[in-house]
Chains A and B, each alone.
Chain A
């Protein structure tokens, strides 16, 4: 059997894959948003002086980091629907699953970056009369976000790749689009290589985008 990459462009395959790619990008962006919110909340919560709060956030981290994403997705989509009659749509379950999973990792990125900021910054803010949270949002976080960017970029890329798992819970994203085409024409090598190339293009663009963002946020003369 000889290889025929033209199959990518036959039978409306390419537009179908692009449609899958668009869903992949959409799902990833929504999950990223959720993941950053969860990450910020859990990361800050873990540093709280309230023991119950930091304990709870620690538990969240341990659970979502300690169980496979695929299993979490299965629980969310099939488990909840059949066991508890909570019927989430596939994309809803997908965004929730990806966001909660990735949020655990982002919380560690947030916490690490905040703790890397010099203690004197908090003291300076407090000495001026700002509250803990005012200092956090006006002084600490703007500096911490800059330090988070490179690792956050990594997480964003991992999220894009992990979104391929959503194919298992019937989200019509890129991977599933590929699976469906392959089931029809058995061109495994060509189609999956094509999909890989599409993922690569997205992720490479992300890494370029992060680099531009980093440069933009680097204030003149500030060493971070």
Chain B
């Protein structure tokens, strides 16, 4: 489903991603963990090309996204094609990024009404179905600023799902939430995973990783240092850096 091969990314002189490769199968849930500044959010944002890369390839269902390699040269993809590919990859942000001037149902229906050949009744019906799925059908007419953080994030998930994406990317979806609101968002994500959605999740929620992930990927210093089944990573990590990181986050949790 997603094939990342040897990508390099620089911010000026700063080498943020160093030859990272990652493959994600259809229906798989991959959780990326690692210390802050390790490049895990950047890697995630490369998948829908919100971040440009300088080297390597990213393919979604066999189609390259962002950087095309033609006759030995790397050229950026035309924006038009990029927009089409992005419409099939949903993204959920740490800070929700809901549209504050639209109510909940408008937030959810705006993109499909603009981009898909979908009539308004169909879009509304689908949006209501999605809001029901995230448990917010009664908030359809509310504005984002009147919702709690957990509710906002669930709307953001519904908004991304409205484009019927093949892949969902989650960029620290619970990091901006009060602790008591984290559960409701994770519950929605768990349901999504159960429904067979292909998901890549950057998170500090180790319990979620343990429970839901098919595979855990550990990043440090712009490299992918270890990956494997969650039970193996959490019980017998091979890399000392993984051990160190897990010791820090797990003691904090208790």
Are B145 and A221 interface neighbours, CB within 8 A?
Answer: yes
Give the residues in chain A near B146, CB-CB below 8 Å. 220-221
Interface 0/1 of B98-128, CB less than 8 Å to A: 1111000000001100110000000000000
B42 contacts A by Cβ under 8 Å: no
A146 at the A/B interface (Cβ < 8 Å)? yes
| Residues B182-220 near A (CB distance < 8 A) | none
Question: What chain A residues lie within 8 Å of B90 (beta carbons)?
Answer: 127
Q: B residues 82-102 with Cβ under 8 Å of A?
A: 83-84, 86-91, 93, 95, 97-101
A131: chain B residues at CB < 8 Å are 79-80, 83
Does the CB pair A124–B115 fall under 8 Å? Answer: no
B79 and A129 contacting across the interface, CB-CB below 8 Å: no
Q: Contact between A124 and B97 (Cβ–Cβ < 8 Å)? A: yes
The answer to whether B93 and A134 have CB atoms under 8 Å apart is: no
* Known A-B contacts A121-B99, A219-B143, A222-B143; A127 and B91 likewise in contact (beta carbons under 8 Å): yes
> Which of A31-39, A107-115, A137-145 lines the interface with chain B?
A137-145
Q: Residue B157 at the A interface, CB < 8 A?
A: no
Chain A, interface size category, equals 20 to 34
Contacts of B143 in A (CB 8 A): 219-222
Picked from A130, A142, A143, A222, the residue with its CB within 8 Å of the CB of B115 is A130
List of A residues within 8 angstroms of B98 by Cβ? 124
Q: A123-B50, A221-B143 are in contact. Are A129 and B111 (CB under 8 A)?
A: yes
> Are B97 and A128 interface neighbours, CB within 8 A?
no
Instruction: Evaluate contact between A222 and B100: CB separation under 8 angstroms.
Output: yes
Query: Which B residue's beta carbon lies closest to that of A119?
Result: B97
CB contact under 8 A between A134 and B114, given known A124-B93, A129-B83: yes
How many whole Å from B152's CB to the nearest CB in chain A? 12
Whose C-beta in chain A lies nearest to the C-beta of B88?
A: A129
The reply to whether the CB of A211 lies closer than 8 angstroms to some CB of chain B is no
Question: Considering only CB atoms, which chain B residue lies closest to A217 in the complex?
Answer: B101
Q: Min CB distance, A170 to chain B, in Å?
A: 45
Scan residues 54-98 of chain B and give those whose CB is less than 8 A from a CB of chain A: 79-80, 83-84, 86-91, 93, 95, 97-98
Using a CB-CB cutoff of 8 Å, which residues 16-42 of chain B contact chain A?
Answer: none
Q: From residue B34, how far is it (CB to closest CB) to chain A in Å?
A: 22
- 10 smallest A-B Cβ distances: which pairs? A129-B87, A124-B97, A120-B97, A128-B111, A127-B91, A221-B146, A221-B145, A129-B86, A221-B143, A142-B101
Beyond A138-B114, A143-B101: 17 further Cβ-contacts under 8 Å? A118-B95, A120-B97, A123-B93, A126-B50, A127-B86, A129-B163, A130-B114, A138-B110, A143-B100, A219-B101, A219-B143, A220-B146, A221-B146, A222-B101, A222-B145, A223-B145, A224-B100
Interface residues of B (CB under 8 A from A): 48, 50, 79-80, 83-84, 86-91, 93, 95, 97-101, 110-111, 114-115, 143, 145-146, 159-160, 163
Of the A-B pairs whose beta carbons lie under 8 Å apart in the complex, a sample of 15, sorted by A's number, is A123-B93, A127-B48, A127-B86, A127-B91, A128-B86, A128-B110, A129-B84, A129-B87, A129-B111, A129-B115, A130-B83, A131-B80, A139-B99, A143-B99, A143-B100
